[in-house]
Amino acid sequence: MFSKMSSVRAASLFLLLLLFGSFWAQQGRAATPSVILPVPRTTIAQGDIITLSSLEKRKFRASSIDRFTVIPNIQDILGKEAVRHLPVGMPIQRSAIRRRDAVKRGEPAQLVFQDRGLEIIAHVEPLEDGVVGEIIRVRNVDTGLIVVGRVEADGTISIGP
């Protein structure tokens, strides 16, 4: 009877250890640090401009990501140009994108002032490259006056209210 009781206790102890072992293993997997990164929702071809609709967020194990080479924030990707093919679902490498200048230094552009129905357009020379939304310096071709304005999506520079 003693040996029968010992084997029941041993079996119970074994099952208990197996159960706790399984529980701790699941806790270890759940505690694995993860990171959420923006990834292409559809294939992005070389030369394409990255838009919000072409991105989604996906969860990755932190240990499988080189956090120094991938871009963690969507805002750092939007409006940039793909330097190479970006596959669906893969984190975007810093080296895979570049900023796309809407205006280039030295190339003719238009300065636009609009206020309450009044529109004044002047021909200017950008003194620096600029992306959409950036404030840059430009020189009026006729007067030589240097002003600052915001780069617009159509390649113009706007000033005023």
Residue 138 bridge partners (DSSP): 126, 147
> In the chain, which residues have pLDDT < 50?
1-2
> Distance between CA 114 and CA 45 in Å, rounded?
37
pLDDT of residue 101: 80
Which burial class, exposed, middle or buried, applies to 71 when counting CB atoms under 10 A from its CB (0-12, 13-18, 19+)?
middle
pLDDT tens-digit map of 52-72:
999 999 999 988 788 789 999
pLDDT of residue 29: 54
Residue 56 bridge partners (DSSP): 39
| End-to-end Cα separation, the chain, in angstroms | 95
Phi-psi region of 142 (alpha: psi -120 to 50; beta: other; left: phi over 0): alpha
Burial 33-46 (b: 16+ CB within 10 A, else e): eebebbbbeeebee
pTM for this structure?
A: 0.53
> Under a CB-based contact definition with an 8 Å cutoff, are residues 90 and 60 in contact?
no
pLDDT of residue 23: 55
Q: Write down the H helix ranges in 67-129.
A: none
